[in-house]
């Protein structure tokens, strides 16, 4: 645990969250600033600053994050599809420096923005 990390504090129960899922290694919770009707984060409890700092030793953890995404998305009503995103580093848009996977869908600002990019 990193003492100054927001997501470490959420994982430790020091800061409340609207949980979607939790086990010994991972916590998932709704984003406090959602960009879609459904927007939650999947976060490893073990502190890893960003995807840039992962190694081969993190393969199982990374696989778990990705395997949980469709399961939790379906449970949140995203049965027709969803987006995932991992912001990596400051230049990659990361604002909380603890690895996390965004899962979002169901309409909203993010989908409007993506539709504009595709056109």
Which residues are designated catalytic? 100
Residue among 97, 102, 99, 95 nearest 46 (CA): 99
- Can you list the pairs that 56-60 forms with residues at least 24 positions away whose Cβ atoms lie under 8 Å? none
Q: Can you count the helices (H) and strands (E) in the chain?
A: 3, 5
- In angstroms, the Cα distances linking 36 to 7, 47, 60 are 21, 26, 28
Contact 102, 84 (CB under 8 A): yes
Question: How far apart are alpha carbons 44 and 26 in whole angstroms?
Answer: 4
């Amino acid at each position: 645990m990193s003492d100054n990390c927001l997501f470490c504090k959420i994982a430790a129960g020091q800061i409340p969250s609207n949980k979607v899922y939790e086990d010994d290694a991972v916590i998932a919770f709704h984003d406090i600033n959602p960009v879609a009707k459904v927007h939650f984060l999947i976060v490893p409890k073990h502190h890893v600053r960003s995807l840039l700092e992962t190694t081969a030793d993190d393969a199982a953890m990374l696989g778990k994050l990705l395997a949980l995404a469709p399961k939790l998305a379906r449970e949140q009503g995203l049965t027709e599809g969803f987006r995932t995103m991992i912001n990596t580093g400051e230049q990659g848009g990361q604002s909380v420096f603890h690895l996390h996977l965004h899962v979002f869908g169901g309409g909203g600002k993010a989908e409007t923005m993506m539709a504009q990019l595709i056109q």
